[in-house]
Structures are given as structure tokens and as C-alpha cells.
A and B are shown apart, each in its own frame.
Chain A
Amino acid sequence: MHNKTLIELAAGLRSRSYSSVELTQHFLSRIQQHQDLNAFITVSEDIALQQAEQADKKLANDDGGLLTGIPLAQKDIFCTDGVKTTCGSKMLDNFIAPYNATVVEKFNDAGAVMLGKLNMDEFAMGSSNETSFYGASKNPWNSDTVPGGSSGGSAAAIAARLTPAATGTDTGGSIRQPAALCGITGLKPTYGRVSRYGMIAYASSLDQGGPMARSAADAAQLLQMMAGFDTKDSTSVDHPVPDYSADLNQPLQGLKIGLPEQFFSDDLDQAIASVIQAAIDEYTKSGAQIKSVSMPHLDYAIPAYYVIASAECSSNLSRYDGVRFGYRCQNPQDLEDMYTRSRGEAFGAEVKRRILMGTYALSAGYYDAYYLKAQKVRRLISNDFKQALSEVDVLMGPVSPTTAFKLGEKTGDPIQMYLSDIYTIAINLAGLPAMSIPAGFVNEMPVGLQIIGNYFEEAKLLQTAHQYQMVTDWHQRTPHGFE
């Protein structure tokens, strides 16, 4: 059952081949069996079985939609009413969310079953899952390596077939990079496409939730449910939601693919470059035209990103003060001591670095030199993308400069860790949609192909990805021991 697509699972439920309770029990037992992957922070077994029973009743009446009765899982950044929501932090280790994120409401309305909450880097700050208070999730392709981050638990769980699909969030690559490192399909939608209400904030002008799944067709189903305008999110965009599956099977007629020169520089591992080239060749075989494009400001994406993200992080995380929810230190002497020690004791090192960096960048006398400068650079980067996407339909390139690295390899050097986001970060600055799809292997570790599209053209990305997945089987490969 765990190797089936969402559409196959839905068909199985409707033909009574298995019930939602049986399907849920199957995935719960796989989660139990593969606990050592540390993909889940919380397994919500009781709620899952309750939701499955309700779904079975609906299915018995031929009621419900495609996702009714299908077990899925949430990144632990989405608030779930009555269920612990930690964001990977000691700060929220005791936080039972008092309301649902809009995304979670949509899953519930669709009748989906929630298996649990997935591991992640603390407050989504990290590219390896190693900043999680609960310890890193492991990559099912090689348990000595990282699953990527910050949505590493989501990617690991999907690759290991512990859940058919899951949610992720992407601020600088946090859906795409773990998807690439674990050999699954992930989509970061256009900024504003999926509601951020109840999605714990890191950098509000960059954060965006999206689907992670085993194929583009499954991701389309999930995005269909997640996308849409939400009055509860002031940055949600009121733009019609198309049928994301409608054109999946349409062949790509004369697709124009742009290859940013800056994505294929000498920094890119040669073996990964060959895998990406082979994937692009596959597209040219089906009639796509290739064009080289130059995006001269891309080199400045990492510095601009780390100013903007850190600044927004320091503002957003000021809410953790030990007063209304979250961690409070023992025996505070006075108010200041309570703030300082609660935050000092409950935040991990990476979160502290970014709060400090952001506080500095926003402090009097430095605002213009850092934050304002970064926002101007952001405009230049965004203009590069606008120019490139006026010449081509999609852009393609690598997702990550390397395959999954060893656990512990980069934890001592934060800058080294930041550089692993080099191909993903600029897309968040521009607010564009982008995907990572499995494109091959280097030394038996998965490599992701990145496909970047214009604003609100998620359907085109999904179609482009699906057409590739029709003629390749990289996305169907399963890590050893998880078949």
C-alpha cells in the first residue's frame, strides 16, 4: 500500500480494497518500524485513527473527495489544535497549539488523516535538520547523511514511504533542497499562494508553504487543496486557483528552457552537472528549446538573503518572551532576567546567531547599510528573473551544489551551511514558484533538478515535471530497506 500514488490510494479506498483505518494502521506501523529515522517529532496515532474512522463512514456513503481517508503528515511548523506544535524548538516543546493553521483546516475539511508532525530545523533555520531540538532526521538513502532542511523530516518520511505525501515550508530552499537530497518531488509555490496563517513565522516576506510528495501528479493534488486566498493572512494573494492536474498530460509543445549561466559555474560538482545536463537533454529530445540566460546579480543572493531573513527572524522571534506561551526559565529575578534567560535557555545556537545578526542589521546606524541595501539588491535579483522569464517559459538548474552531506560535516561552520542554499535562495527573494524533482543519482545518492517558473505558473511547473516523470523512473526509486 505504501508504494501507491495518492490517486491509486483514493481508488483503493473507493473500491473497498482497504479501509482508511487499515491504510492508516499500515503507515503508523511503518513509522513505528522506522523510528530510527527520527522523521517525526509527534506521531498522532489516536487522532489519526479517529479521523480514519470518520473518513470510512464518509467513504461508505460515497461521500468525500480525493484525499478523504488518505494518511498524510504535517511539518511541525503548522499549528494543529490540541496537538503539540514545536517548530523543532525547545521554546515550543510544551506548546499545544490552540488553533489550526489554515493549511491544516484545509486538510481536515478534505477528510485527510494526520499521521503526525514532522521533524525540522529549529524555526526552519537550517539546511540539514541538525538544528532540530529533537535531533536530526536521517536520510533514508544513507543514514549517515542528512536529509537536508529545513523540511528534512517531511522529505525523509516520504522517501522512506512512512507517509504518501506531506507539507513543507520554504524560506530559502527548505522544500526543494531536502526534496533533492531525499529523491522526492517538492514544490515551493509563488509567495502568497498558500496561506501562512498558523504557519509559525521565520522570515515573513520569504516564507511559503507547499506540497512534498513522490511525484508531480501527487504534488498537484496536494497543492490543489492547499492553495487559495485567505483573509486571515494579510499577504495572501487573491488570485484564481486553476486546476493543477488539468494539463499534466498535455505534451510540452516548444517549451523554452532557460539555463542561468550562474547556476552552472565551476562551483557546481561535475557529477551533479552531468546529471542535470542529462535531464535537460531529456527535455530537448521531446522538442524543448534551450537558451542560456545571464542573471548577473545572482551572486549577491546569499548576502541579501541572510540580511533580510535574519532581520525578519529577529522581529518575528521577539514574540517568544516567556509570558503567554512557550518556555519560561525557572525562578526569574525580574522581567528582564525572565526574557533573557527564557530566550537564552530555549533557543539553539543557529537561531541565536540569526537573531543577533538581524538585531544588528536593524539597529540604529546600520539599517541603511544592511537591511535597506539588501532590499535594493533583492529588487535587482528579482529584475534578473523577470528579464529571464520574459525570454523563456521556465528556468532549470541544480537544486543543491552537492548530494546529501554527512551528519556533522557542516555543523561547525555556519557559513559553509549557508552556501548549500546557493541555487535556491534567489527564488525566494523574487517570490517565484519552483520545484525540485528527482533527476538521477551520484554515488547512489539522489540529485534534484530545479524548475523555476513565472508568478502563479505552478500548473506549468507541474506539467513540465510530470512530462519528465512520464519518461523517467527516478521518482519511483526506493531507498534500500524501505521497499
Chain B
Amino acid sequence: MSLTADDVKKIAHLARLGIDQQNIDNYTQDLSRMLDLMTQMNDLNTDDVAPMAHPLDQQQRLRPDEVTESDQREKFQRIAPQVENGLYLVPKVID
């Protein structure tokens, strides 16, 4: 199965992933080859097979609804790209 450069641009947009214009063709080619590899799965009939999401088919555990974390805002914000008055700063979203 092969993808077009426009497909790749669309996927990159969905993933919010910047791709250099000059590399689009390479990604298009690589992804098409990866898809060829993946379509090999179609040789297998899996009609009555239950999908397997987790190796041990475990149930999600529940825990009491209690606060277990302490407030470490300053520590966590020390590694943020831009912070002011305890808030994470991003480019303006609403004018």
C-alpha cells in the first residue's frame, strides 16, 4: 500500500509534528514500505480471535480515592520552558 506526500503531510499535522519539506518524500517512501510490511498480517484469518491489549489480560486495579501526592509545584515548574507566578506560559491563544 502506498501513501502520497499529501497523506504524510496530513498525518504529520494530526501528530503536530513538523517535517522539513525536503524530507517529505523520504518519509512517504519509508511509511509506504512500513505499510507494505504491515499488510502481511492480512494473510491471516483473525475473524474469531479476540484482540489482546495486555500480555496478562489483567483487570485494572482500583485504589482508595485518597490524596497520596504532596504539592511540588515549584520543583516541577523549575524544569518548565516558561513559567510566571506559578503558571505555565504558552503563546497567546485568545485575543
Contact = CB atoms under 8 A, between A and B. Distances in A.
B8 A332 contact: no
B38 interface: yes
Contacts of B67: none
Nearest to B14: A359
A361 B58 CA distance: 24
B80 A353 contact: no
Interface string A309-349: 00000100010011111111000111111111101110101
Nearest to B81: A328
B54 A303 contact: no
A349 B18 CA distance: 11
A306 B75 contact: no
B86 interface: no
Nearest to A414: B30
Contacts of B27: 352-353, 356
Contact of A303 (B12, B38, B78): B38
B49 A379 contact: yes
A360 B80 contact: no
Contacts of B5: none
A429 B18 CA distance: 31
A303 B41 CA distance: 7
Interface stretch (A119-127, A178-186, A368-376, A444-452): A368-376
A231 B72 CA distance: 20
A388 interface: no
Contacts of B33: 414-415
B92 to A, nearest CB: 7
A156 B67 CA distance: 43
A355 interface: yes
Q: Which of B17, B44, B50 is packed against the most chain A CB atoms within 10 Å?
A: B17
Contact of A95 (B35, B41, B46, B79): B79
A136 interface: no
Given A382-B52, A455-B56, A344 B81 contact: no
Interface string B55-80: 11010110100000000100110111
Given A237-B56, A306-B38, A353-B34, A300 B90 contact: no
Contacts of B35: 360
Contacts of A340: 16-18
Contacts of A94: 79
Q: How large is the interface on B (under 10, 10 to 19, 20 to 34, 35 or more residues)?
A: 35 or more
Q: How large is the interface on A (under 10, 10 to 19, 20 to 34, 35 or more residues)?
A: 35 or more
A314 to B, nearest CB: 6
A244 interface: no
A344 B49 contact: no
A234 B60 contact: yes
Given A323-B81, A335-B93, A376-B46, A235 B37 contact: no
B31 A353 contact: yes
A370 B40 CA distance: 11
Contact of B51 (A323, A345, A372): A372
B81 A380 contact: no
A338 B92 CA distance: 11
A235 B78 CA distance: 30
B92 A324 contact: no
A192 interface: yes
B57 to A, nearest CB: 10
Contact of A98 (B8, B34, B58, B79): B79
A377 B12 CA distance: 27
Given A192-B58, A205-B53, A323-B80, A341 B18 contact: yes
Given A340-B16, A352-B27, 11 more contacts: A94-B79, A95-B79, A322-B81, A336-B16, A339-B16, A343-B16, A347-B17, A353-B27, A374-B41, A414-B30, A414-B34
24 contacts: A237-B56, A300-B40, A300-B41, A303-B40, A307-B38, A318-B16, A324-B76, A332-B91, A334-B93, A338-B90, A341-B18, A343-B18, A352-B19, A353-B31, A359-B15, A360-B7, A374-B38, A374-B41, A376-B51, A378-B52, A379-B49, A380-B44, A414-B30, A415-B34
- Top-3 shortest CB links A-B: A344-B18, A431-B55, A375-B51
Interface of B: 3, 7-8, 11-12, 14-20, 23, 27, 30-31, 33-35, 37-44, 46, 49-56, 58, 60-61, 63, 72, 75-76, 78-82, 88, 90-93
Interface of A: 94-96, 98, 191-192, 205, 231, 234-235, 237, 297, 299-300, 302-304, 306-307, 314, 318, 321-328, 332-341, 343-345, 347, 349, 352-353, 355-357, 359-361, 363, 370, 372-380, 382, 414-415, 418, 429-432, 455
